[in-house]
A and B are shown apart, each in its own frame.
Chain A
Amino acid sequence: MSTHQHNHSLFGLWLYILSDCVLFAGLFATFAVLRGQTFGNLSGSDLLHLSTLLVQTLVLLTSSMIIGLTTQAKSRGVILFGLAATFILGLVFIGFEIQEFAGLVAAGAGPGHSAFLSSFFVLVGTHGLHVAVGMLWMLILGVQVWLHGTTHAFSRRLTMLALFWHFLDIVWIAIFSIVYLLSTTL
């Protein structure tokens, strides 16, 4: 694998990430426009549970740092440990989100109830889906490094995964600020 090819793959991933940002911008714009249309049901400030949200945010932030540190590691054991730690933190994050979604649906505030809830579920759910895909990517890389060790191709893939995961953390900054924290100003 030449460095030329290495740069090409990274550039491709970078273009994908930026177009994904544009997709999220569309979802954010939709949410911002519809966030007052609650149809008398739950509004944004009813969804705000500060302690859970803080734990979720710190969990994702820590995982973002760990995957970054993992890209610097050389030994197979450390890399496997880093991937496992990031995976578990991702699982905790998704767990909180599934719990929140299930609670809302059970309380009769599912995505079909109001324009606000539709845009909320789509925006936060799309981010959660990305996190789940990132975790699948981690599993695959874990098996690869377990079987074949740290090849050149592997470190390229790990760098790309870290880039993707950092991007998800950045999208989460916008979600926890705009969707959750700013709901108190409604």
Chain B
Amino acid sequence: MKKYLTGFVFSVILTLLAFWVVWVHVASNHAYLPHTFMLWAVVAFALVQLVVQLYFFLDIRPSRDSHTMVPFLLALFIIVVVVGGSLWIMQNLSHSQTTPFRGTPSPQNDLY
């Protein structure tokens, strides 16, 4: 019973922190907090909350039996390869394109 309440409290705090960072940014009309900082802060809060919920809600801990941990680590590996690999490849492709890969088609982009 206690583990669910602990996990819940930690998750609420981490959620509020992530929202607060973005709220400060939006409320100041993007003046406060550079984009790189926001990116890493939101990703960091999400990763910590991920670990918190895996630990307190799903009981995933290193001491679990291999039946649980081996498929879990395999799935984690596949996820990292799929998501990380896609971003890496597409980022490289966008560098070798003459027009920027990101962004909407706009008159400025035609200059490059």
Contact = CB atoms under 8 A, between A and B. Distances in A.
Interface of A: 7, 11, 14-15, 18-19, 21-22, 25-26, 28-30, 32-33, 36, 38-40, 43, 48, 50, 53-54, 57-58, 61-62, 64-65, 68-69, 72, 163, 166-167, 169-170, 173-174, 177-178, 181-182, 184-186
Q: Among B22, B50, B71, B74, which residue has the most Cβ atoms of chain A within 10 A?
A: B22
18 contacts: A11-B67, A18-B72, A21-B75, A22-B82, A48-B26, A50-B22, A50-B23, A50-B26, A64-B8, A65-B5, A166-B58, A173-B49, A174-B46, A177-B42, A177-B43, A181-B19, A182-B43, A185-B39
A43 to B, nearest CB: 7
Q: How large is the interface on B (under 10, 10 to 19, 20 to 34, 35 or more residues)?
A: 35 or more
A173 B46 contact: yes
Tell me the interface secondary structure of chain A in the complex: helix
A82 B43 CA distance: 32
Given A50-B23, A173-B46, A182-B42, A166 B75 contact: no
Nearest to B78: A22
B58 to A, nearest CB: 5
Contacts of B4: 65, 68-69, 72
Contacts of B22: 48, 50, 181, 184
Contact of B104 (A40, A62, A72, A182): A40
Contact of B38 (A22, A167, A170, A185): A185
